[in-house]
Structure 1
Amino acid sequence: MDHPNAPVPPPGCPAHNSGGRVPLYGPEFAADPQAYYSYLRHYGPTAPVEIAPGVEATLVTDYASALQLLQDSGSFRKDSRRWRHFNEGKISPDSPVAPVLAYRPNAMFSDGAEHLRLRQAITDSMARIDSRRLSQSTEQVSNYLISQFSSRGSADLLADYAKQLPLVVFNELFGCPPDIGDRVVYGVTGMFDGVNAEQAMGVLFGAVGELIALKRARPGDDVTSWLMEHQANLTDEEMMYQLALLLVGGNEPLRNLIGNTLHRLLTHDAYANQGGLIDEAIDDTLWENPPMQNLAPHYPASDMEFAGQHLQAGDLLLVSFAAANTGPALTAARQAGSNRAHLAWSAGPHACPSKDPARQITITALENLLNKLPDVELAVPEESLTWRPGPFNRGLVALPARFTPVQAARRPDAGTRTEAPAGPAQSAQQGHRAERSGVWSQFLNWLTR
């Protein structure tokens, strides 16, 4: 490396094989990313990294520098068609990071007036979600998922709960009927966990296209219809890309937030017998183990100096939310009582538009699970847990748990419920009571039995 005073890389870090760049992938990084961030801080506010074989990036690890980057939309752009190395043919289209970084015409990859138009349509539509209805819907989905494993006395709280709950709740929010909702689940899951991300993406976009056609003909009380009604007048193509962004970009971080907070609750005795423990555990997770640890891709609009480093136009910069949150300056601010100043939701004009509903879903999901299974505990030694590899996400592979078996809760009786299920699910049930295999259809079947 070009830094003679740099410390020795953490164990297993093959930086000397990466052209002097620190690799943010592989099992060693996944097992202990904080060791890597501690090492990277010795380079200053930014550090040279490799996010996949042959894919170079500059990682911002300092909180103040990260805020400067995220809030300066004049100097730094989001449109990844500016990505210099990709345009020069140095990045293979089948690179494992391409599905996350490749340009799509949605709010995440847009700048200026176009970003404002698309972003406003999203934020206005998400703001129409009724918090009481969202809590009721989440609790219903939670009850259904718990009923599938509660009598066993054991479960993988990732595969059986944290992974599925956001997908089903989002199908509810977006008004998906059973057949479309099952394909949305397949597409979103396959993009992150399957071996054929391209096929999964095709299934997802096909399902979203059918959902748009359905809502054009029969609007409902759901996010899809609200997006259509918005004064931004989104075309069907624009609708497709914004919906896909919300479905994919919302599910993966939420899955990790629920899973990472559950992991924290099950491995830290400090939360036992404390009031407000779930709120505290969520905040601590967002600070120390955020669901997306490195993301927010930006590209300098021109050659420039930033945080003491020379950058060329189109260089790839990523923000390390995990490193910025745990740096010395932020540790001091957190101790002073500023408990929501973390960057887990990003910041600036591209900050997460769904952080409030995401937090509400997480709180409801965790409260309901702990109320139903009060003695739940980790079923394996903590050190045996494995984290998913990759530069962007921070999530477990599995979270095995055990508890005293309980009889599966019966679904709420339709004749005695004080509140009907949230609108989309209720309307989707009509004429769709035949048994189906997808998780969304299974949930609707459970509600109507």
Structure 2
Amino acid sequence: MSTGLQRLPESDNPAKLYEELREQYGPVAPVLLHGDLPAWLVLGYRENLEAMRTQSLFSRDSRLWNAFQEGRVPADSPLMPMVAWQPLCVFADGDEHARLRGAVVDGLSQFNRHGIRRYVTHYTHELIQGFAASGRADLVRDYAERLPMLVVSRLLGMAPGEGPALVEPTLDLIRGSETAAASNQRVTEVLTDLVQRKKAKPGTSDLTSRLIAHESNLSDTEIVEHLRLVLVAAHQNTVNLIAHTLRMLLTDRRFRGSLSGGRMTLPDALEQVMWDNPPIGAIPGRWATGDTVLGGQQIKAGDMLVLCIAAANVDPEQRPDLSLPMHGNRSHLALSSGPHECPGGDIGRAIADTGIDVLMDLLPDMELAVHEGELGTTTDWMARRPSALPVTFKPKRFKDGGGRAESTGAQPLPEAAVSTPSQEPSSAPAVAKPGPWWRSLFRRRP
């Protein structure tokens, strides 16, 4: 091992580093985070499961981190938005976790796939209307980044015009950029105002009103923080899932042929993408409650674990042959596992499934406007996805004022997407770059 810190070059694929670390250290590797703070990168599938499921050994309470207790993390560290303790279910264990998570789960459970699909169908038509006449689009900027926010913001109870303004700040706040803190503040302010409006005039079928009225008696701060959690997680994860899946459909003839030929369903395709390109590649973290051993490494009390989902999903012990399809297999770790498994996974799947299905139906002749080798990748410390997907297609006309393609039957926007007896389902522009700090996030310890 080098005696100096090795910095990951900007152009490198993080997957290469993960495999180098796996070969050198095994399923758990020592790394340095920003500010030369030591941590453990969990690469193995079994080891990730153990960390995710064993709260007695690996807590979500970041206040246990020895770097915090020793005052080694500056207040302006770009790690802080993700690891600083907040009154959220993702930073709690035991009874407190059950109280907070129960409110979120109950709030999300009111939405069914049928109602969500109607929202998605409406907004897909609306977005396509904006670029269909030109015969060109960037499916990342013009579609994947916008659709999830339009849907999720409505589920939270926002007015139709509020969602679009939150797309860029929501993407920016987890990039680790210089403007991330300001973006986070902007999102928080919007959600704080939303809570006050809903307290004065509650809705009947939105997440905000449900959290306000929930028997868990959440404080205003807890409500705002959990709304922000749902908004950011649902948006980021679904943007990446849609973008990765569309790239596969546009560049992999075998993948697209399996889908069009009926050998693979779109839900199967989404699961395959979550195996190969999970929406979030690395998650900080877990903190050791005491001295223990994981993957052959001696973990000390207060040490941080960074769960590397991208590496775990391709663990050779779990998937010795990566060419074999994983259709219908939901045992990937893209949505975590154990007590902190993502409660909104089905909502994200419904948005991606319906959004891609309707898009491909309306614009079946889409083709990449550039060579596949020219497609770039936007990478930050938690995830990576296509930076742009420029496509061309035959220009399409829409009816005046209707917001609908002539060849489709778009439905008007539903007033609710909640479960009720009658509703039960039977050339690419420049992309903002992350700040440079993340590129040295996972460095080998000297």
Return the TM-score normalized by structure 2: 0.84
Q: Which residue of 1 aligns with 2:245?
A: 261
Rounded Cα–Cα distance in structure 2 between residues aligned with 1:228 and 1:202: 21
Q: Which residue of 1 aligns with 2:270?
A: 282
Matches within 5 A, 1:135-214: 135-178=117-160, 180-181=162-163, 184-185=166-167, 187-192=169-174, 195-214=178-197
Rounded Cα–Cα distance in structure 1 between residues aligned with 2:273 and 2:14: 15
Does 2:27 correspond to 1:40? no
Closer/same/farther in 2, CA of residues 383 and 95 from structure 1, 3 Å limit:
farther
Q: Show CA shifts across 1:275-315 (max 9, x none).
A: 24422321211011111011150000112222211112121
Rounded Cα–Cα distance in structure 2 between residues aligned with 1:152 and 1:55: 50
* 35, 49, 52: which one aligns with 2:31: 49
Deviates more, 1:40-49 or 1:66-75: 40-49
Structure with bigger helix share is 1
Q: In structure 2, give the amino acid aligned to 1:216.
A: K
Closer/same/farther in 2, CA of residues 28 and 88 from structure 1, 3 Å limit:
farther
Does 2:4 correspond to 1:59? no
Aligned Cα RMSD in Å?
Answer: 2.4
Runs of at least 5 residues in structure 1 that lack an aligned partner in the other structure: 2-14, 426-449
Q: In structure 2, give the amino acid aligned to 1:390.
A: D
Rounded Cα–Cα distance in structure 2 between residues aligned with 1:422 and 1:142: 14
Closer/same/farther in 2, CA of residues 382 and 55 from structure 1, 3 Å limit:
farther
Does 2:379 correspond to 1:392? no
Q: Which residue of 2 aligns with 1:421?
A: 413
% of aligned pairs identical? 33
- Three-state SS of the structure 1 residue aligned to 2:134 is coil
Q: Show CA shifts across 1:338-367 (max 9, x none).
A: 722111111010011100111011000100
Q: In structure 2, give the amino acid aligned to 1:68.
A: E
Does 2:211 correspond to 1:219? no
Matches within 5 A, 1:216-365: 216-220=199-203, 221-270=205-254, 271-272=256-257, 273-275=260-262, 276-332=264-320, 335=324, 339-365=329-355
Closer/same/farther in 2, CA of residues 336 and 290 from structure 1, 3 Å limit:
closer
Closer/same/farther in 2, CA of residues 51 and 396 from structure 1, 3 Å limit:
farther
Q: CA deviation at 1:122?
A: 0.6
Q: Show CA shifts across 1:160-199 (max 9, x none).
A: 0000111111111111025654554454244246641121
Closer/same/farther in 2, CA of residues 83 and 28 from structure 1, 3 Å limit:
farther
Query: What number of residue pairs does the alignment pair up?
Result: 403
Native 8 Å contact 1:377 1:403 kept in 2? yes
Deviates more, 1:219-228 or 1:329-338: 329-338
Q: CA deviation at 1:376?
A: 1.0
Q: In structure 2, give the amino acid aligned to 1:146.
A: I
Q: Which residue of 2 aligns with 1:439?
A: none
Closer/same/farther in 2, CA of residues 186 and 264 from structure 1, 3 Å limit:
closer
Rounded Cα–Cα distance in structure 2 between residues aligned with 1:192 and 1:77: 22
Rounded Cα–Cα distance in structure 2 between residues aligned with 1:167 and 1:336: 30
Rounded Cα–Cα distance in structure 1 between residues aligned with 2:52 and 2:395: 47
Rounded Cα–Cα distance in structure 2 between residues aligned with 1:44 and 1:73: 23
- Three-state SS of the structure 2 residue aligned to 1:395 is strand
Native 8 Å contact 2:125 2:404 kept in 1? no
Q: In structure 2, give the amino acid aligned to 1:266.
A: L
Q: CA deviation at 1:53?
A: 5.3
Q: Which residue of 1 aligns with 2:437?
A: none
Deviates more, 1:373-382 or 1:130-139: 373-382
Rounded Cα–Cα distance in structure 2 between residues aligned with 1:359 and 1:178: 22
Closer/same/farther in 2, CA of residues 353 and 290 from structure 1, 3 Å limit:
same
Rounded Cα–Cα distance in structure 1 between residues aligned with 2:77 and 2:378: 17
Does 2:365 correspond to 1:381? no
- Three-state SS of the structure 1 residue aligned to 2:377 is coil
Q: In structure 2, give the amino acid aligned to 1:70.
A: M
Q: CA deviation at 1:268?
A: 0.7
Rounded Cα–Cα distance in structure 1 between residues aligned with 2:302 and 2:183: 29
Q: Which residue of 1 aligns with 2:98?
A: 116
Deviates more, 1:367-376 or 1:41-50: 41-50
Native 8 Å contact 1:41 1:47 kept in 2? yes
Deviates more, 1:324-333 or 1:131-140: 324-333
- Three-state SS of the structure 2 residue aligned to 1:330 is coil
Q: In structure 1, give the amino acid aligned to 2:22.
A: R
Rounded Cα–Cα distance in structure 1 between residues aligned with 2:46 and 2:91: 23
Q: Show CA shifts across 1:37-86 (max 9, x none).
A: 22121111101223445243211111111111100011111111222223
Q: Show CA shifts across 1:260-287 (max 9, x none).
A: 1111111111122322442232121101
Q: CA deviation at 1:420?
A: 5.3
Native 8 Å contact 2:122 2:412 kept in 1? no
Runs of at least 5 residues in structure 2 that lack an aligned partner in the other structure: 418-446
* 95, 110, 114: which one aligns with 2:77: 95
Closer/same/farther in 2, CA of residues 179 and 262 from structure 1, 3 Å limit:
closer
Closer/same/farther in 2, CA of residues 183 and 153 from structure 1, 3 Å limit:
closer
Rounded Cα–Cα distance in structure 2 between residues aligned with 1:330 and 1:174: 38
- Three-state SS of the structure 2 residue aligned to 1:365 is helix
Native 8 Å contact 1:172 1:424 kept in 2? no
